[in-house]
Structure 1
Amino acid sequence: MFKEIKNKYLRYSAIFVFFIIIFFSALQLNFLWLFGYSPSTKDIKMPTLRVGSELYTADGKLIGRYFKENRTPVNFNEIAPSVINALVATEDVRFYKHWGVDAQAVGRAVIGLGEKGGASTITQQLAKNLYRTRYNKSQGLLAKVPVVRTVIFKLKEWMTAVKIESNYSKNDIITMYLNTVSFGNNAYGIKTASRIYFDKDAKDLGITDAAMLVGMLKGTTMYNPTKNPERALERRNVVLRQMNKYKYLSNDSLTALSKEPVKLKAGELEDGSDGDSYLRAAVAKYLEKWCTDNGYDLYEDGLKIYTTIDSKLQKYAEEAVAEQMKTLQRRFYSVWGNEDPWYDSEKNKVDYPERAMKNLPVYSMLMKKFSSQPDSVKAYFNKKKRMKIFTYKGDRDTSFSTLDSIRYYGKILNTGMMTMEPASGKIKVWVGGIDHKFFKYDHVNQAKRQAGSTFKPFAYLTALEQGMSPCDKFTDKPVKIKYQDKGETKYWEPKNADYSVTYQDMSLRWAMARSVNTITAQVTEKVGWDNVVKSAHECGIDSHLESVPSVSLGSNDVTVYEMVKAYSTFMNKGVKTDPILVEKITDQDNNVIDEFKPKTKRVLTEEIAWLMTYMFRGGMEEPRGTSQALWEWPDLFKKNNQIGGKTGTSSDYVDAWYMGLTKDLVTGVWVGCDERTAHFKNGEQGEGSRTALPIFAKFMEKVYLDPSSGYSYGPFPKATVEITRSYNCPSPQYVRDTTSVDTAAVDSTQFDVPETADPVNPVTPTEQEVKKEEKKQDPDPAQPVQTVPLTRKEERELKRKQRQEEREKKKNENN
């Protein structure tokens, strides 16, 4: 083919050009896997910038980010001109004249053997950063040959740079470059660097700021102003001189600016955008399968994730948790003093620090190394070292040994709280613990704890499903239940919380409201504990449940997440709704990638669901209902507002719960120590109404007092179907000492429980709703108010109060 060219020089030139074309074609096609990957034209037009994903609340507040490289892209008009000028003057003065490869600079570099500066253009550096032309996966077989490897890298960068120049404007190229480069301190891109080093937007950077950042590009560690301020200052002034040399800066400005010291101001991208949190971790787990199924990388694909969380409600919940948990921790320390709180269910002392130490991976390694020297192992765990520890007054530096740390954190109370809209399935609040920095374990969906009495409603639900009504009565009496355990006959004898019985007939609603163990056990025996387990699973409990006689008293471990989901079924007219944490996901340009809808399934009839909500209201309306500690927060009950709920406390006061229901929201709260052998000493200190309930109360009070929260006062929804069961069966009223009411008074002032007569008005079957009396009616003289005999405990409390009043009366008379 080339023989036809008669001119020798022309023929040789043609052969040279031909082989150049062949070589670059082989280079582009990665012939025989010799050269490695090169970006195609499609790759050039659709570059993949490794941008972290952003996490937003439903109302658009940035609350977290996921990134491997902490960067947020900006547009060209969002970058200060001084940054562009400094970059061009320092890195590539002929940027606006070349076509990606600066032939003049290449020639100068070859002749001067690199001593007069390199020849790499901004476009070539972009090719290297954005398309990873030197990345391991981009290398071919020839990369193992040292000199050849360097030549191939350079040629691939040239090819890529030319492609970039043919597809993008100069402004686009310089913008992409500034969005990709690293400025040290895990700051990628000009926007992130501007905020981290100067607490400014990129468009607000001054000339010295711009010169400082551009100067760092030569060495992000050597010229880092936080690590090497003197070198950073020197390098900044070099950039200023370059700007002066190429007419971007006058002589007077150069003189003045060179004398300015380094001025840094550390900042953050936005509140909540840095660091980790329970919610951030929960969303990452929630989207794990979605990312795999849809081919997205949460940490590199620049997604915008809009959660269902309400920023105001989340703030109020976190405030309520902080207030109450601080009080509870102080109470816990006061109860135990210098005594260790670790005891098993048989009241035997437990050496928790020793057990926890032996469970550490390093313990077994040390025991193997010092098998004949156990004292050396002990010395290792007793050696003091500096560390930061959690306190309610902020992080504290101290000297702790490993055993000191185990002992300290083994006494810390923790919590989990979740709030959900039952109709939409949207999770509005997620508080996984008291401080994610020190306690990574999420107590909403990871920690499983005994549900205590919050599990009782599933027994009463099963009773309703088997044809009973809220008015059906059982007797509070000693119970002995026979059951089979692995072929062996056993007996279970449940006791009430105060270890007494009243021998009184109680309606199902009253018994659930008072949380009477003996009646709950009788109901469970009658309906069958297998059926109670089935009902719980159908409503939304996913954890394995042991089918035993005590199942209704909450002997199984469940999560806060499951309990909120299950209780929401009652408030959603019997439709189980799987909670959703993410509402939608968009790309950087706000194009919707996916939207999330909850899965729903009807599991209860509307009538049964409404009757259950009526039963939950009994906690406030029935005599001695366990939710009546909520009266301490009178703002909760304005405008005829109704609240339902259920307290729960596990054996030995290890776990405390409160499940709160309003017309719009269902909230679950758990409180306890991560170490199960640590607990309060008695119910006055550690039961659900005194630990978890106040968190719900304080949270809802903040919500109601904020008109802009979107959640208002109001009664529970009316029944939308005919209620065929009898339910209007008022319980007899107590005449009692109000200080003995289940209340949070241990932490605050005493309060009075408003006297309630008949909590509901008689209704006709067509009314389909129970209305609370706004004003107590005067009793008919011919029909005295029915009273119930006091328990021994109540009699003692009444006598004690009477004696105290007599002493105070005599004292006043003497004065």
Structure 2
Amino acid sequence: MAIVAIFFGIFLFLLSVRFGAWGKLPGKNELATFHYYRASEVYTADSVLIGKYYLNDQQPIPYENFPEHLINALVSIEDERFYEHSGLDYQSLLRVGFKTILMQDQSSGGGSTLTQQLAKNLYPRKERNKTNLIVNKVKEMIIAKRLENLFTKEEILGHYLNTVSFGGNTYGIESASLKFFNKPTDQLNIEESATLVGMLKATHSYNPRLFPGKSTDRRNLVLQAMLNNDFLSQIEKDSISALPLKLDYREFDHDEGMAPYFREEVRKILRKWCEIENENGQNYNLYTSGLKIYTTLDSKMQQLAEETMAIHMSSLQNEFEKSHGKNAPWLKNKALIEKLVKRTESYKKLKKLGWDDAVIMDTLQQKRTMTLADWKGEKLVNASTVDSVQHYMKFLNTGSLAIDAQTGAVKTWIGGINYKYFKYDHVAQSKRQVGSTFKPIVYTAALETGISPCTYFSAQEVEYENLKGWSPSNSGDKDEAYLNYSMEMALSNSVNTVAVKVLEKTGIENVIQQAKNMGVLSELPKQPSLALGTGELYVNEMAGAYASYTNNGKAVYPYLIQTITNRKDSILAHFEPKRSNSFAFSKKTGQIMLEMMKSTIDQGTASRIRTSYKLKNDIAGKTGTTQNNKDAWFVALTPKLVHVSWVGLDNHEIGFKSTSLGQGANAALPLFALWYQKLNRDPEFNVMTKARFSKPDATVLELLDCEPIKRDGFFKRLFKNPNKKKAKRFRSGSKS
């Protein structure tokens, strides 16, 4: 009687689960129409996958993409009677019932079929106590039976392999294959398939990157199962088992991998695109819709740029720290350190709670275990929040960008030295004073207003009475007061006193309008110091403006995305280059300016391009260094590319100790020069590196055919005191 009561109770329990007393079960319609979450993928222009946007890293693929040996490995180790049962393997259930439950033999294995595991993948268990474990098991059995009625065996295997977890928020065999072997599923070999299938028993314990020994043993167990099920011969099994585990691990982490700053900027653009499209009746989700984003980035150029950045910036950082020595601001400037501590989230949270400043600072000086990073890598240390601020405030940062000179397509994008620790993007987010890299815009405006390139300007320092005695100076000796520079010589040697005089003669308003015509959107100061680059611009803004010199006078606007497609590669959006509709300056002016900036490279402030780096390519450009050596710039123009680089610190309060270290030619120029050396060594880039500028018109060469410098005559030198500044009033737009 008791046995009947027990079986009756079990029967009632099963019915209660079946009819939803323990939670609603999915019906046939729901099961037949379930949708995968699909990660959106980001590709370079040369079709290299560089990143994903996802809630779950999942990329479902069709059954046809599964190699036969992958299916054989899965069935052999996880469900060898898969093709014989209809969702439930009663033989396995009996084994579990007697051995595992009654005899407490945990080594007997589980009784779940692949179909039941698919049910668990689709409807993950929410609670894990013993009562709910039984309920969940029964639910999965019922769902498994329904799945078997709805789908073929191949479809069930496909759904399973597309939904199963491989740990670390990685779902599905395609994402796992790309992560651990950097190849799509259809290219997996037998040992790689066996490794991934082996992970499914315990994704952490058998993770091949973390525990290669355990993973290899598990892989070989899978191979043994394949032998037992006649999918491998003994010879094949033995030879494959003897192979070492070889990974090509690639984490698709937002903080890691190629071009993280670029990918973040692409993400921002895509979010706005999705919002606009959804307002028009579409239903796109950047993280679940499986979009494919084909960008303008060149993967090889980007890789070389990142390698160059690491080499140069790590070396420069070492020199920078040595130059400041024991009295460095991150060691001695208590007021600055406290100021930066007050910008931290830790400080703001405690302040919001009403804590006193002294108590907050005392709390933030308490040490704990944390990770700090430098150019040697990450390390665990015992440090406080204040220690962390002092550690990171000393780091030089950078922003560099290379664009197609004619279209504005972004080829390389480096927003900083380490995205994980420095999220601020110095290409698209950071506006910094541009220093002497603004001077070409001043000289362009001068030419457009009719000033001849062979007009001479005295280099003598002037004290402007109506500007509170403002007196821009040069870095040369006092003898410069006797010199008169042609515009070409003044620009190539970045003579400050001349730049201000050219601005004065041209007119501030004319210069600002010229900048706007060249694509500068940021507001510029209506001050004479504009000639020395006190205006603040973005790196990408500067790149677009300079591109007008190589693009027949038309500015371009850097763009990042070419096309957006759905998972079937049907085009959803196509992005065209953004060019200015009007000419920023005449053809003649453009040719003159290009010749002037070639002189900057050949014999001016950027001559180390030729002398130190031995680059013989056609290159024009301009260096820039701001006051107190806070910002170092270099802009390079080639027939095919525009490259802009900036180097400085996130904290404006700290600068380079000396101009020799912090000038644009030393701090920023190598980011281009070292990178271009790498391009020169690769024949793949010959179309860019071997390109030549068009020859200027003969009339342009005639206009530039004058002595670069004229020295004052004897009597003028006799009555001029080089140690005395000339006093005058600044008259913008004057003709004197």
TM-score tier by shorter-chain length is: 0.7 to 0.9
> Which ranges in structure 1 are unaligned for 5 or more consecutive residues?
1-23, 28-33, 136-145, 484-488, 736-786, 794-815
Contact kept in structure 1, 2:618 and 2:693, CA below 8 Å? yes
Q: Secondary structure at the match of 2:688?
A: coil
Q: Secondary structure at the match of 1:561?
A: helix
Q: In structure 1, what is the Cα distance between the partners aligned to 2:211 and 2:335?
A: 50
Contact kept in structure 1, 2:563 and 2:571, CA below 8 Å? yes
CA distance 1:526–1:382, shift in 2 (3 Å): farther
1:58 to 35, 45, 61: 45
- 1:435 positional shift: 2.5
Contact kept in structure 1, 2:304 and 2:675, CA below 8 Å? yes
The answer for the alignment partner of 2:274 in structure 1 is: 291
1:329 to 311, 317, 327: 317
Size of the alignment, in residue pairs?
Answer: 675
Is 1:423 matched up with 2:406? Answer: yes
The answer for the alignment partner of 2:540 in structure 1 is: 561
CA distance 1:158–1:535, shift in 2 (3 Å): farther
The answer for the alignment partner of 1:668 in structure 2 is: 644
CA distance 1:407–1:250, shift in 2 (3 Å): closer
- 1:648 positional shift: 0.7
Of structures 1 and 2, the one with the larger relative CO (CA 8 A, separation 6+) is 2
Q: In structure 1, what is the Cα distance between the partners aligned to 2:530 and 2:450?
A: 21
The letter for the 2-side match of 1:525 is: E
Is 1:604 matched up with 2:604? Answer: no
The letter for the 2-side match of 1:357 is: V
The letter for the 1-side match of 2:51 is: G
Q: In structure 2, what is the Cα distance between the partners aligned to 1:627 and 1:234?
A: 59
Q: Secondary structure at the match of 2:327?
A: coil
CA distance 1:477–1:590, shift in 2 (3 Å): same
2:596 to 606, 615, 624: 615
Q: In structure 2, what is the Cα distance between the partners aligned to 1:315 and 1:236?
A: 34
Q: Secondary structure at the match of 1:287?
A: helix
Is 1:652 matched up with 2:628? Answer: yes
Q: In structure 2, what is the Cα distance between the partners aligned to 1:423 and 1:80?
A: 45
2:489 to 500, 510, 535: 510
2:498 to 510, 515, 519: 519
Q: Secondary structure at the match of 1:676?
A: coil
Q: Secondary structure at the match of 2:563?
A: strand
TM-score, normalising length from structure 2?
A: 0.76
CA deviation profile, 1:78-106 (whole Å, cap 9, x unmatched): 545455345446766665467x7669899
CA distance 1:338–1:680, shift in 2 (3 Å): same
1:151-300 equivalences in 2 (<5 Å): 162-163=149-150, 165=151, 169-193=152-176, 217=200, 220=203, 267-269=248-250, 275-276=256-257, 277-294=260-277, 295-300=283-288
CA deviation profile, 1:238-275 (whole Å, cap 9, x unmatched): 98999899x5689999xx99xx9999665425899993
1:351 to 335, 338, 342: 335
Is 1:385 matched up with 2:373? Answer: no
Is 1:677 matched up with 2:661? Answer: no
1:307 to 283, 286, 295: 295
Q: In structure 1, what is the Cα distance between the partners aligned to 2:51 and 2:171?
A: 17
1:722-733 equivalences in 2 (<5 Å): 727-732=703-708
- 1:421 positional shift: 1.4
Q: In structure 2, what is the Cα distance between the partners aligned to 1:532 and 1:250?
A: 77
- 1:62 positional shift: 3.0
CA distance 1:664–1:200, shift in 2 (3 Å): closer
- 1:74 positional shift: 4.8
1:623-662 equivalences in 2 (<5 Å): 625-633=604-612, 635-637=614-616, 641-662=617-638
1:701-712 equivalences in 2 (<5 Å): 701-709=677-685, 710-712=687-689
Q: Secondary structure at the match of 1:359?
A: coil
The answer for the alignment partner of 1:49 in structure 2 is: 36
The letter for the 2-side match of 1:441 is: Y
- 1:561 positional shift: 0.9
- 1:647 positional shift: 1.0
Contact kept in structure 2, 1:62 and 1:271, CA below 8 Å? no
The letter for the 2-side match of 1:66 is: Y
Contact kept in structure 2, 1:510 and 1:731, CA below 8 Å? no
The letter for the 2-side match of 1:546 is: P
Q: In structure 2, what is the Cα distance between the partners aligned to 1:221 and 1:309?
A: 35
1:580 to 534, 556, 559: 559
> Which ranges in structure 2 are unaligned for 5 or more consecutive residues?
1-17, 103-108, 127-132, 278-282, 712-716, 724-736
The answer for the alignment partner of 1:697 in structure 2 is: 673
Q: Secondary structure at the match of 2:509?
A: helix
Q: In structure 1, what is the Cα distance between the partners aligned to 2:209 and 2:500?
A: 67
CA deviation profile, 1:308-351 (whole Å, cap 9, x unmatched): 222332233223323322332222122211111479xxxx9673
Q: In structure 2, what is the Cα distance between the partners aligned to 1:358 and 1:458?
A: 39
- 1:128 positional shift: 6.5
- 1:649 positional shift: 0.6
- 1:55 positional shift: 2.8
Contact kept in structure 2, 1:63 and 1:273, CA below 8 Å? no
Q: In structure 2, what is the Cα distance between the partners aligned to 1:296 and 1:407?
A: 44
Q: CA RMSD in A?
A: 4.9
- 1:507 positional shift: 2.4
- 1:573 positional shift: 0.7
| Bigger Rg, structure 1 or 2 | 1
The letter for the 2-side match of 1:52 is: A
- 1:688 positional shift: 1.1
2:472 to 483, 494, 500: 494
CA deviation profile, 1:517-575 (whole Å, cap 9, x unmatched): 22222222233323322221221222232222212211122111111111001210111
- 1:692 positional shift: 1.2
Percent of residue pairs identical: 36
Q: In structure 1, what is the Cα distance between the partners aligned to 2:111 and 2:399?
A: 59
Contact kept in structure 1, 2:330 and 2:390, CA below 8 Å? no
TM-score, normalising length from structure 1?
A: 0.69
Contact kept in structure 2, 1:341 and 1:677, CA below 8 Å? no
Q: In structure 1, what is the Cα distance between the partners aligned to 2:416 and 2:429?
A: 11
Q: In structure 1, what is the Cα distance between the partners aligned to 2:29 and 2:225?
A: 36
Q: In structure 2, what is the Cα distance between the partners aligned to 1:676 and 1:77?
A: 57
The answer for the alignment partner of 1:803 in structure 2 is: none
- 1:614 positional shift: 2.5
